[in-house]
Amino acid sequence: MISSNTVRFNLTPLDKRLLNQKEVIEMDAENLHYFEKAPVAKAVAHFAVPMMLGMSMSVIYSILNAYFIGTLHNTAMLTALALTLPLFAIIMALGNFIGMGSGTFISRLLGEKKYDDVKHVSSFAFYSSLALGLIVIAVGLPFIDSIVNSLGATPDSFGFTKDYVTVMLIGSPFLVLCFTLENIVRSEGSAVKSMVGMILSVAVNIILDALVIFVFHWDVIGVASATVVSNLVASVYYAFHMGYKSQFLTVSVRWFKASKEIVGNVVKIGVPVFIMSIFMGAMSLIFNHYLVEYGDTAVAAYGISSRLLQFPEFIIMGLCEGVVPLIAFSFTANRLRMKQTIGFTVKTIVALAVAFGLIVYLISDHLIGLFTNDPQLIEMGSYILHVTFLSLFISGTTALFTGIFQATAQGTAAFIMSIIQGATLIPVLYVANRMNGFHGVVWSLVIADAAAFLVGAGMLYILRNKLQPDLESLAQ
C-alpha cells in the first residue's frame, strides 16, 4: 500500500505548487467563515485566543525569573531584574522590528501566491535577526558600565545588574532571533507551531532556572543564562519547522535576498512597531529612575508587582489585538457585525478586569509573598498592585481604541494612541513625585492610563461621526 506521504513525495513541482495553492485557498475559506458567518463570540475566540495565549507566555519569563531569584531572599538581585526590563524591551523591539515587518509582508505575499518571494523574505528575516544581535553585542559590551548606570543601578545592585546585562548582551542574537521567528511562523498561519515554540521555551526556562539556582547556585547569571538558552531552544525549533516542515518558509542562505522591495516593506511596518516598543522601554526606564529615590525595596516591589500585572494586561492586550482583523473586515462588509464585535470585546474586557481584580484584592499579599519573605517588600508590592490594578479596564479599553483606529485605517489616531500614555506619564511623574512622593509616583501610572483613555474616547467619537455616512452607504 502506498502511503499519502509517498504520493506527496513523488509529486511534480507543478503538482506541489497547485497543492500549495489549494491549501492556501482552504485556509482562506476557513478564515472567511469566521469573518462572515460564525457567531460573534466564536469568531472573537478564534482570532483572539491564540494571541492571548501567545502574549501571556512572554509574561511567564519575567514571573519565573523573579520567583527563582526571590527564593534567594536578596532584594538587590530582585532590583537588578527590575532595572534590566528596559534592556529586554529593546532587544524584544529589535526582534519585533524584523519579525512583524517581515511577517506582515509574508502574509501578504501568501495571499498573492508569490511563494518564492516568501522564501526570500523568511531567509532575509532569519539572517537579519542574527546580524542585529551581533550588532547589539558589538555596541553594548564596550559600554556595559555606562549601560548599567543608565538603567539606574544602585551601589548594592550594580554588580548583579551588570551580570544580568552582560549575559543578555552576549545572548542577544538568539533573543532577537526567537522574537523574529515566532512572528514569521505565525505569519504563514501556523499558530499551533508558534504556540508550541513558546511553551517549549517556557518549559526549558523552568527546568534551567531550577538547576542554576538550586543545584549550581549561579544566582542572577544563572537566571539570565536560562533565559538565553530557552530562547535558543525555541529558535532551533522554529528554524527546524521553517527548514524542514514548512511549505512556504525557509532558513536556507541561498534564498537570502536583501532587495529594495523586501527591505522597504519590512522597514515600513517594522519601524513603527520598533518605535512604540522603544517608547515603552523608555517609560519603564524613566519610571525606575523616580523609584530609585525611594530605595531598592521600592524598585524591587514595583518589579514584582509589574510582572504580576503584566499577565492580565497581556491577556487583555492579546484580546484587543486579536480582534483587529475581524473589526477591519466587518468595517467594510458589515457595520452591524463590527459594532457587535466591539461590544462583545468590551464586555469581555470588563469580565476579565473584574475577575483579575478580585483575585488581586483577595490574595495580593500571598502573590507578592511568592517572590520574597521581606515584610516591607510584601507590603509595598501589595500596595502597588492594588493601585495599578485600578486601571486594568481603562488600559484594556485604551488598547481596544488603538485596535479600532488601526482596523479603520486611521493612522494618525493610532499613532497618537501609541505615544499618548508616555507623553502624559512623564509630566505627571514629575508633578506627582514633587507633590506626593512615592505614592504620587505609583498613582501617576493610573493618571496616565486615564488620560490616554479620555483621548482615545474623544478621538473615537470624532472618528465615528466622520465615518458614519460612509458606513451607512456601505450598509445600503
**Sign (positive/negative) of CA torsion 355, 193, 48, 423?**
positive
Q: How far apart are CA 186 and CA 331, in angstroms?
A: 24
Beta-carbon contacts of residue 321 (< 8 Å; ≥ 6 apart): 48, 51, 55, 399, 403
Q: How confident is the model at residue 2 (pLDDT cuts 50, 70, 90)?
A: very low
87 burial level (CB within 10 Å; 0-12, 13-18, 19+): buried
Q: How far apart are CA 472 and CA 341, in angstroms?
A: 18
Determine, yes or no, domain membership for 27. Answer: no
Tell me which DSSP letter residue 247 carries.
S
Q: Are residues 50 and 91 in the same domain?
A: no
Q: How far apart are CA 165 and CA 151, in angstroms?
A: 10
Beta-carbon contacts of residue 245 (< 8 Å; ≥ 6 apart): 193
From 221, 245, 274, give the residue that closes a domain.
274
Cα dihedral 447, 389, 281, 443 in deg (nearest 10)? 30
Statement: residue 253 has pLDDT above 80 = yes
Q: Are residues 81 and 55 in the same domain?
A: no
Statement: residue 229 has pLDDT above 90 = yes
Determine, yes or no, domain membership for 163. Answer: yes
Q: What is the pLDDT of residues 210-225, one digit of tens each?
A: 898 888 888 888 888 9
* DSSP, residue by residue, 33-91: HHHHTS-HHHHHHHHHHHHHHHHHHHHHHHHHHHHHHHTT--HHHHHHHHHTHHHHHHH
Q: Are residues 52 and 77 in the same domain?
A: no
Average pLDDT over residues 430-456: 86
Q: How far apart are CA 37 and CA 48, in angstroms?
A: 17
Q: What is the pLDDT of residues 331-390, one digit of tens each?
A: 766 777 888 888 899 999 999 988 888 888 887 777 777 777 778 888 888 888 888 888
Q: Are residues 414 and 382 in the same domain?
A: yes
Residue 44, classed as helix, strand or coil, is helix
Predicted TM-score (pTM) of the model is: 0.68
pLDDT at 152: 80
Q: Are residues 239 and 339 in the same domain?
A: no
Q: Are residues 179 and 102 in the same domain?
A: yes
Q: Are residues 243 and 380 in the same domain?
A: no
Statement: residue 279 has pLDDT above 80 = no
Determine, yes or no, domain membership for 284. Answer: no
Q: Which amino acid, 33? A: H
Q: Are residues 165 and 98 in the same domain?
A: yes
456 burial level (CB within 10 Å; 0-12, 13-18, 19+): buried
Which of 277, 373, 300, 278 shows the shortest CA–CA distance to 152? 300
pLDDT at 177: 94
pLDDT at 413: 76
Lookup result for grid cell 520598533: 274
- Contact between residue 103 and residue 183 where contact means Cβ atoms under 8 Å apart: yes
Statement: residue 131 has pLDDT above 90 = yes
- Contact between residue 115 and residue 23 where contact means Cβ atoms under 8 Å apart: no
Determine, yes or no, domain membership for 64. Answer: no
Domain that holds residue 338: 34-59+294-476
The grid coordinates listed for 261 are 522591495
The grid coordinates listed for 108 are 501578504
Determine, yes or no, domain membership for 245. Answer: yes
Q: What is the pLDDT of residues 14-23, one digit of tens each?
A: 444 444 555 4
Statement: residue 402 has pLDDT above 50 = yes
Determine, yes or no, domain membership for 191. Answer: yes
Q: Are residues 146 and 205 in the same domain?
A: yes
Determine, yes or no, domain membership for 465. Answer: yes
Statement: residue 474 has pLDDT above 70 = no
Q: Are residues 260 and 302 in the same domain?
A: no
Give me the phi and psi of 267, to 5 degrees please.
-65, -40
Q: Are residues 260 and 177 in the same domain?
A: yes
Statement: residue 89 has pLDDT above 90 = no
From 243, 274, 305, give the residue that closes a domain.
274
Determine, yes or no, domain membership for 12. Answer: no
3-state helix, strand, coil in the chain (%, to 5): 90, 0, 10
Beta-carbon contacts of residue 282 (< 8 Å; ≥ 6 apart): 86, 422
Q: How far apart are CA 376 and CA 294, in angstroms?
A: 13
Total tally of structural domains belonging to the chain: 2
Q: Are residues 220 and 349 in the same domain?
A: no
